[in-house]
Amino acid sequence: MRRRKESVGFGYPSCGFPQHRPSLLENKMTKTLVFAVIAFLMVASAQAAIEYDLTHDGDIQNINGAIYMQWDIAPAGSGRINAFVGIQGTGGGSQHGYNTTGAREFDTTPGSKALLLSDIPTVTFGDTPYREFWLDINQNKTHPVLSLDKLRIHMASASNLTGYLTNPAFGAPIYDLDAGGDNYVKLDYRLNPGSGGGDMLLFVPDSAFIGAGDYIYLYSMCGATINGADGFEEWAVGNGEPIIPEPATMALLALGGFALLRKRYS
């Protein structure tokens, strides 16, 4: 009488080899590993930064109530936009800093200035007044794209505050790019190359500027997500002149469509 060969899953014969059956401990270890991987992926997904793209002419984004706009501000040469703070790191990594008349910290360049709320012009969209800022980035042809990773604005009663990470005098930010989650803005130097012009307009609601004191502090970080910064970045106040956007942007403004974002998850 001929014996049939035993099969081990999927109909394949065992070929006489002993069948391995996972022990209870092995099963538990496998399940634990699977759950750990799932938990890691869930956390990573939850922490993924949200990208706001300003790498096309006239791009516009609304982040936590502030308007970020790609704009070709005419170049005027380095040092000609009356910047109140500049940041420049070393080694191509991220760079960060803030304006103060006190001791400079982090990657803040010399020439940092005090900034009063009255120094910042207002621009009105619809019936809403905003305070206007300019950002001028400086990259090279090899690394033209740069991320703006952190942006916080504070109000205080003195112009010489320092110890940004530990000094309670800065208080809570009146505006934070990362309020409610990790965000960054993607910028392209090629859209408006050269120093002293400007690559991005920032409009922060005037209603946000409620705090103790008239001095404004702007802290920013660039290059943490995309390309370590190649040059210095400068912040200046706007000129308060009317903005005449492209027709597509005008349609968004008319519709209140700042929320119609080209938003991508990285």
Residues with Cβ within 8 Å of 262's Cβ and at least 6 positions away in sequence, in order, are 52, 53, 56, 59, 61
Residue 37, classed as helix, strand or coil, is helix
What are the beta bridge partners of residue 108? 87
Q: pLDDT band at residue 32, thresholds of 50, 70 and 90?
A: low
Check pLDDT > 70 for residue 251: no
Query: What local confidence, expressed as pLDDT, does residue 151 receive?
Result: 98
Burial class (CB in 10 A: 0-12, 13-18, 19+), 42: exposed
Check pLDDT > 90 for residue 2: no
Number of helices (H), then strands (E), belonging to the chain: the values are 2, 14
Torsion angle, alpha carbons of 113, 116, 117, 123, to 10? -50
Residue 183, classed as helix, strand or coil, is strand
CA separation, residue 166 to residues 60, 106, 172, 251 (Å) = 34, 14, 12, 44
Check pLDDT > 80 for residue 25: no
What does DSSP say about strands 183-188 and 50-54: parallel, antiparallel, or unpaired?
Answer: parallel
Per DSSP, 235 falls in state: E
Mean pLDDT across 68-90: 76
Rounded distance between C-alpha atoms, residue 56 and residue 264, angstroms: 14
Rounded distance between C-alpha atoms, residue 69 and residue 148, angstroms: 13
Check pLDDT > 50 for residue 263: no
- pLDDT one-digit tens code per residue, 207-248: 999 988 999 999 999 999 998 767 889 999 988 776 655 444
Name which residue leads in pLDDT, 19 or 266.
Answer: 19
Which pair of structure tokens corresponds to residue 137? 């980035």
**Ranges of each domain in the chain:** 51-258
Cβ neighbours of 101 (radius 10 Å): 15
Query: What local confidence, expressed as pLDDT, does residue 19 receive?
Result: 57
One DSSP character per residue, 166-223 reads T-GGG-S-SEETTTTS-EEEEEEGGGS-SSSS-SEEEEEEGGG--SSSSEEEEEEEES
- pLDDT one-digit tens code per residue, 122-174: 999 888 999 999 999 988 888 899 999 999 999 999 999 999 999 999 999 99
Cα–Cα–Cα angle for 137, 118, 58, rounded to 5 degrees: 35
- pLDDT one-digit tens code per residue, 5-18: 444 444 444 445 45
Average pLDDT, the chain: 79
Residues with Cβ within 8 Å of 108's Cβ and at least 6 positions away in sequence, in order, are 85, 86, 87, 97, 98, 99, 100
Residues with Cβ within 8 Å of 64's Cβ and at least 6 positions away in sequence, in order, are 175, 176, 177, 179, 180, 183
What are the beta bridge partners of residue 54? 187
Q: pLDDT band at residue 74, thresholds of 50, 70 and 90?
A: low
Check pLDDT > 70 for residue 179: yes
Which pair of structure tokens corresponds to residue 42? 């869930």
Query: What local confidence, expressed as pLDDT, does residue 82 receive?
Result: 85
Check pLDDT > 60 for residue 262: no
Considering the entire predicted model, what is its pTM?
0.75
